[in-house]
Structure 1
Amino acid sequence: MAGTYTQIYIQYVFAVKGRQNLLQKPWREEVFKYMAGIIKNKNQKSIIVNGVADHVHVFVGFRPSMSVSNLIRDVKNNSSDFINDRQFLPYEFSWQDGYGAFSYAHSQMDAVYRYILNQEKHHRKKTFKEEYLEFLQKFEVEYNEKYLFDWLE
């Protein structure tokens, strides 16, 4: 849209169905690159995609040409198809329903980037559940834990 200027940064967080540790290191990076390509093809800016075996963080420079929910729906649908088409696993892969989406100021970009880049190190000390609940509390998102992801304890 001519004359429209935005600066919107969104971090998405979403999990493997059942919070299973299925995103295996030998092909995880390939999936993250594929997700970045999906984002780019949707005319959005992929800043970083990274995660660990059971969940992913996607940081996007967001253009309001589509909705926040439609972008992540497309990323999740297309990436699960990619994983299944490549037969990375001997059974069907899918993402859990739902996601978190958190907005940031331009001045926070470097810190968010480093945080997402260092997911492996970060999760040596903190579970995904602890991390996710901290996000919800930090961003003052009202929630009922009953409706959050299926947590593996």
Structure 2
Amino acid sequence: MPQSLARIALHIVFSTKNRAFFLKDLELRSRLHAYVAGILQSINCEPILINGVEDHVHILCNFPRTITVAALMEEVKKSSSKWMKEQGPAHRDFFWQQGYGAFSVSQSNVEQVRAYVATQAEHHRNVSFQDEFRALMPQARDRDG
């Protein structure tokens, strides 16, 4: 085969440091999501959908074959954190939590995950971030429960 091909959908979840509600303002949150999409595009990672609530972000993307998940997340967090701090004095103490969750998504489930990411505000009226993250990681739920 003369070239390398990859089609890997990835669902990434990460939160603000200490899950602080830095992202309450809907307009700011929307601009942050657009900024993150630009970061992804700059590293050849095709964003499918970016959404979230006051304290965390979900990214659904087509993951490039030329970068590691760790390098992708380092670039997203570093660049977006810097951008957030430039949005005014209220955000000078903004930081992302150190960790993240990254989950592969089969092509047959991309639309289901897209719908889930799209409805985050509605979803979090009933489910906390902690419970959501534990549900994404059954082995953590089994260990902690």
Instruction: Normalising by structure 2, report the TM-score.
Output: 0.91
**1 CA distance for matches of 2:89 and 2:131?**
28
| Structure 1 equivalent of residue 105 of structure 2 | 104
| Structure 2 equivalent of residue 40 of structure 1 | 41
Q: Secondary structure at the match of 1:86?
A: coil
Note the C-alpha offset of 1:141: 6.1
The gaps in structure 1 that reach 5 residues or longer are: 146-153
| Structure 2 equivalent of residue 151 of structure 1 | none
Q: Any conservation in 1 of the 2:17–2:96 contact (CA below 8 Å)?
A: yes
**2 CA distance for matches of 1:99 and 1:90?**
21
* Superposed counterparts of 1:2-151, under 5 Å: 3-24=3-24, 25-87=26-88, 89-137=90-138, 140=139
Note the C-alpha offset of 1:89: 2.1
* RMSD of aligned residue pairs (Cα, Å): 1.8
Q: Secondary structure at the match of 1:126?
A: coil
**2 CA distance for matches of 1:69 and 1:143?**
25
Note the C-alpha offset of 1:91: 3.2
Residues 105-135 of structure 1: CA distance to partner in whole angstroms, max 9, x if unpaired?
1110100100000000000110001100000
Q: Secondary structure at the match of 1:28?
A: helix
Q: Any conservation in 2 of the 1:27–1:88 contact (CA below 8 Å)?
A: no
Amino acid at match of 1:44: C
Amino acid at match of 2:5: Y
**2 CA distance for matches of 1:88 and 1:114?**
34
Q: Any conservation in 2 of the 1:80–1:94 contact (CA below 8 Å)?
A: yes
Q: Considering fraction of residues, name the structure with more helix.
A: 2
Note the C-alpha offset of 1:26: 2.9
Amino acid at match of 1:4: S
* Percent sequence identity over aligned pairs: 32
Amino acid at match of 1:22: F
**2 CA distance for matches of 1:82 and 1:20?**
17
Note the C-alpha offset of 1:86: 2.0
**2 CA distance for matches of 1:107 and 1:91?**
41
Number of equivalences = 142
C-alpha change, 1:90 and 1:75, in structure 2 (3 Å) is closer
